[in-house]
Amino acid sequence: MVYGNREDGCKGPTGILSAVFCLLLLLSFLSACGKGEKNSAAEKASDTVKVDTTALLVRQISNCVRLYTTEYQYHKIVTYSDEPRIAGNLGSANFSIPTRLGERKIAIPIDVSVKAYIDFASFSQANIERSDSGIVIVLPDPQIVVTASKIDHAAVRQYIDPLRSRFSDQEMMSFARQGEDSIVSHMDKAAILASAQTGAARILLPMLHRMGYTEHKATISFRHDLTPESLQKNITVQRLQ
């Protein structure tokens, strides 16, 4: 009789737990169904938005007058760790658990060339001040541009779990792009611009000396009211918009 009671007792809570589990599953299912409807609505909305990509394909050939004075070569090993996690929420409680399966890692060495230049497109007589004491040339603000980037394909290393696929070319390029963006955002812009100004003076002063102006009579000058905000504007990154 005692054993019989225990068996009955075991059946009770198991049944209840099963019922609770089924209820949770049902809720999850209903929730997922709700999201699906939202997604499909969002997809419909996105289908209606047409993006004109014609402008991206137009090649630009432009005349310019730029004096490049400084070149910086940056190197970065871009790393990425793909550790999938199971995340979700139950009511207001959020959770995120590492799966411990299917880990992938990749290291991509990239080299980025950055150059600083003075734009002489608007250079005119207004930039030259002559006086009895000598000549002063006021140059426009230096600019910074990323001229090239190169992935060292031979040095790329991938560590892939047997359960996972290799990194695709698209993923690698996405990581390289992030690496380049990281270099651009962390580079010492003030140092590059100062180097560009020194470089411009180094190029132009000997020319002025040959024109007959002595060392004390020739001056290369820049705008003195450079602020951090205007420095930020001076960085230009060539990329497809």
Partner 1 sequence: MNELDNRPQASSFGKICKKVWDKLVYFLQFVVYTMIKGWQIWLIMVCLVVAAIFFRQCRDERNSGNKLASLRLEKSTTIDVTPEEIRAIRNIEQWEFLSIETEEMAELYKKNALSVSQLSAIYSGTLRLGVDMAKAPDHWFTAKGDTAVLNLPAVGLLDNHFIDEARTRTFYESGTWTAAERESLYQKARTQMLKRCLTKANLLTARRNSTAHFSQMFFNFGFKFVIIQYGVRFN
Interface with partner 1 in residues 70-109 (CB under 8 A): 70-92, 96, 99
If binding is defined by CB under 8 A, does position 57 make contact with partner 1? yes
- What region, left, alpha or beta, does residue 212 occupy, with left being phi > 0 and alpha being psi -120 to 50 degrees? left
Which residue lies nearer to partner 1 by CB, 182 or 226? 182
Backbone angles phi, psi at 82, to 5 degrees: -100, 95
Residue type at 88 in one-letter notation: G
**Cα–Cα distance, 37 to 40 (Å, whole number):** 5
Residue with Cβ nearer partner 1 (58 or 227): 58
Residue pair 67/203 in contact (Cβ under 8 Å)? The answer is: yes
**How many residues in the shown chain lie near partner 1 by CB under 8 A?**
99
Q: Are 125 and 65 in contact (CB under 8 A)?
A: no
Residues 5-44 that bind partner 1 (CB under 8 A): 9, 12-13, 16, 20, 23-24, 27-28, 30-32, 34-35
For 152-174, letters b (16+ CB in 10 Å) and e give eeeebeeeeeeeeeebeeeebee
| Eight-state DSSP code of residue 158 | E
Of 200 and 227, nearer to partner 1 (C-beta) is: 200
CB 134 to partner 1: min, Å: 13
Q: How far is the CB of 75 from partner 1 (least distance, A)?
A: 5
CB of 53 to partner 1, least distance (A): 11
Closest to partner 1 by CB, 92 vs 133, is: 92
Rule CB under 8 A: choose which of 46, 53, 122, 124 binds partner 1: 124
Nearer to partner 1, 13 or 229 (CB): 13
Determine, following the binding rule CB under 8 A, whether residue 55 of this chain makes contact with partner 1.
no
Binding to partner 1 by residue 128, rule CB under 8 A? yes
- Choice between 83 and 233, CB closer to partner 1: 83
Residues within window 139-168 making contact with partner 1, judged by CB under 8 A: 146-151, 153-154, 156, 166, 168
Nearer to partner 1, 51 or 240 (CB): 240
Take residue 129 and report the two structure tokens written for it. 């001040």
Q: Rounded CA gap, 126 and 122, in Å?
A: 10
Measure the CA–CA gap between 144 and 231, rounded to whole angstroms: 10
3-class secondary structure, 190 = helix
Scanning 44-52, 180-188, 215-223, 226-234 for contacts with partner 1 by CB under 8 A, the matching segment is 180-188
> Is the alpha carbon torsion for 185, 155, 167, 56 positive or negative?
positive
Q: x/- contact string, 193-232, with partner 1 (CB under 8 A)?
A: --x---x--xx---x--xxx--------------------
* H/E run at residue 25: helix 2-48
